[in-house]
Chain A
Amino acid sequence: MTPLQIIFIINAVITLFAAIKVVTSRNLVHAALWLILVFFGIAVFFVMLDAGFLAVAQVVIYIGAIAILMIFTIMLTRRVAKDSGAQLNSNWWGGGILALIMFAGITWILTHWQRFQTTAPTIPATTDSVRQLGVGLVSPNGFLLPFEVASVLLVAALIGAIMVAREQKK
């Protein structure tokens, strides 16, 4: 056991526990706070995978924007959030079985994959993955078009969200 492996196991256990709390806790605000812990755990995994930019972007976007937005919405629909009755629908056992089958199936398929036990190749110290990423996103040979399409999607979502949530004047 290397220290990195111990960190991985601790982080994975915390993240999975938080994820289970997200889907089972009755109080929705608590669920949102557990969700933040999941996001943070995933940011830690990104750091372990040498993707520093993504880790920080994960914190900025998911915790700073998405989770806060969700907490806002939960509080704006407060009467429902305070409802501490059953938060699971009547078919929850079906969902549970399906999720278990899904997990077992994915794992089973993965174990038949030849490179399942690959370990990470070392990245040469000279590569600057942030710079590489930046160049990749704007160079025409790289990912310029998907990047622009993503920005168009964001603008469309911005306008759509405003139009949908707007209070209609009578």
Chain B
Amino acid sequence: MGDPVTFIAKWFEGVLIGWGLEKGPTAVIMNLVGVIVIVAFVMIIDIFLVWVERKVVARFQDRLGPNRLGPFGLIQPIADVIKLLIKENIYPQGIDRFIYNLAPLLGLAPVLLLWAVIPLSPTTVGTDINVAVLYLVACGAFVSLGIIMGGWASNNKYALLGAFREVAQMISYEIPMVISLLIPVLMARSMQLNQIILSQNIWYIVAAPLAAVIFLISLIAELGRAPFDIAEGESEIVAGFHIEYTGMKFGMFYAGELLHALTFGGIFASLFLGGWRGIGAMTYPIVGIFWFFIKAYFMYWVIMWVKYSLPRIRIDQMLNFNWKLLTPLSLALLMVTAILDKLMTNVPALVYNGVLLAANIVIAWITVMILRKRSKKETPRVAEPRPIARPDAIVSTSASTPATTSQS
């Protein structure tokens, strides 16, 4: 009796058939109900994520956070939602109205789509398709599409700049993300998420810690959260792509961002932390949901921890970091893992994990050595400053042109 989800599903199917429905329509209704239940469940979590986020950031900044409305301020997010719902919808001049209205949907819907393949427990999974890992990447494509549509349709230069930055970042960081995703796929020999979880007798974070770190960094970049929030850098381009959105349309972008963070936490947990696995999850599948959410929330907390601890990086740093460090590192890691995995076909799990862990440590050490060597050479990190942007340079260019060139 540890599996109420399957029990309820079976009971509901029995009721439908009892009403005289055919097999086909019953399956359609069952699927629809499943979609509604999962989406409603996730959206309710989403409302309270606002509360979690505000509470945690308050603790990071030595404040209390929302604490007036209800116990611990728990009713605050509902008040926020009501406020967003009754706000006036403002349409700026010169917008592309249809695309403007469509963009927030594409900001939230792909995140909900992701929950279709994430296994919450051994038996509770929307649909266990055999290309689930690729499906996760495909949904990311729709998010970047929504962002560029919102930025373009707003008819605002800050929005367009923000959208360009965000999409450039998302497309770049997709590469190390996909490559680091391949490592658990390679070790589990399957792209099915449930299969990946089932083969994690020892969590993959032990055998592939570097891949986990690369995946974490690139998922933070994919989310556009600090330190990768150049797309909405408040001090540079006001709010980025959603600058012209008000009311619930802004709310959908915001909800999509928060939920995306939790979803990525869940994906990270499924790939590297054993997903729903934990004490008693095999015999009582319902316990798996508990373990899954513990791990997902832990990863969400890690993402918030990074967000509120690090300052924003510049766009050139963001691109250099991706193309010069993460992509080569993840490629090297994939090759080493593949070769070692092929060599160790019939060894005990302990040896397998130990060798892979050692290989990871060696690669990390080599990377740190290379970085240290590079950091000793002082290289100019920024392009030569353009005189036009600096009033003092404009005044002095005619007098001291040789001086500026000799400095560089």
Give the B-binding residues of A (Cβ under 8 A).
Answer: 3, 29-30, 33, 36, 52-53, 56-57, 59-60, 63-65, 67-68, 71-72, 75, 128, 130
Q: Does B141 contact A (CB under 8 A)?
A: yes
**Contact present for B142 and A63 (CB under 8 Å):** yes
B131 touches which one: A65, A75, A130 (CB < 8 A)? A130
Nearest CB of chain A from residue B321's CB, rounded to whole Å: 19
9 interchain pairs, CB-CB under 8 A: A29-B152, A33-B99, A36-B145, A56-B138, A59-B141, A64-B174, A67-B145, A68-B144, A75-B164
Q: Is B226 an interface residue (CB 8 A)?
A: no
Cβ-closest chain B residue relative to A2 = B24
Complex contacts, B140 vs chain A, CB 8 Å: 64
Residues of B within 8 A of A130 (CB): 130-131, 191
- Cα distance A29–B95 in the bound complex, in angstroms: 13
Q: Is B220 an interface residue (CB 8 A)?
A: no
The interface residues of chain B, by DSSP majority, are classed as: helix
The reply to whether B138 and A60 contact each other, CB–CB distance below 8 Å, is yes
Interface mask (B269-303 → A, CB under 8 Å = 1, otherwise 0): 00000000000000000000000000000000000
| Chain B residues in the interface with A (C-beta under 8 A) | 24, 96, 99, 129-131, 134-135, 137-138, 140-142, 144-145, 148-149, 152, 160, 164, 167, 171, 174, 191
Q: Given the known A-B contacts A33-B149, A64-B137, A71-B148, are A56 and B131 also in contact in the complex, defined by CB atoms under 8 Å?
A: yes
Given A53-B134, A65-B141, A75-B164: 19 more A-B contacts, CB < 8 Å: A3-B24, A29-B152, A52-B129, A52-B130, A56-B135, A56-B138, A60-B138, A60-B141, A64-B141, A64-B171, A67-B145, A68-B141, A68-B144, A68-B145, A68-B148, A71-B148, A72-B164, A130-B130, A130-B131
Bound together, the chains give a CA A3 to CA B24 distance in angstroms of 9
Nearest residue (CB) in B for A52 is B131
Q: Chain A residues with Cβ under 8 A from B129's Cβ?
A: 52
| Bound Cα distance A164, B191 (Å) | 37
Q: Contacts of B137 on A, CB cut-off 8 Å?
A: 60, 64
B162 CB to nearest chain A CB (Å): 13
A128 touching B130, Cβ below 8 Å: yes
Shortest Cβ distance from residue A2 to the other chain B in the assembled complex, whole angstroms: 9
Measured in the bound complex, the distance between the Cα atoms of B164 and A130 in whole Å is 35
> Is A56 touching B134 in the complex (CB atoms < 8 A)?
yes
A33-B146 Cα distance, complex, nearest whole Å: 11
Enumerate chain A residues within 8 angstroms of B148, measured Cβ to Cβ: 68, 71
Q: How far is the CA of A80 from the CA of B130 in the complex (A)?
A: 44
- Residues of A near B131 (CB, < 8 A) are 52-53, 56, 130
Complex CA–CA separation, A151 to B287 (angstroms): 45
- Complex CA gap A52/B138 in Å reads 12
> How close is A14's CB to chain B, nearest CB, in angstroms?
15
Query: Which residues of chain B are within 8 angstroms of A64 by Cβ–Cβ distance?
Result: 137-138, 140-141, 144, 171, 174
Asked whether A68 and B24 contact (CB < 8 A) given A33-B149, A36-B145, A52-B129, the answer is: no
Which 9 A/B pairs are nearest by Cβ-Cβ distance? A64-B141, A59-B138, A56-B134, A60-B138, A56-B131, A63-B141, A56-B138, A130-B130, A53-B131
Q: Which residue of B lies closest to A40 (CB)?
A: B142
B138 touches A75 (CB 8 A): no
Q: Collect the chain A residues with CB atoms within 8 Å of residue B191's CB.
A: 130
Can you name the residue of chain B whose Cβ is closest to the Cβ of A130? Answer: B130
A63 to B167, CA, bound (A): 13
Residues of A within 8 A of B141 (CB): 59-60, 63-65, 68
* Distance between A134 CB and nearest chain B CB, rounded to angstroms: 10
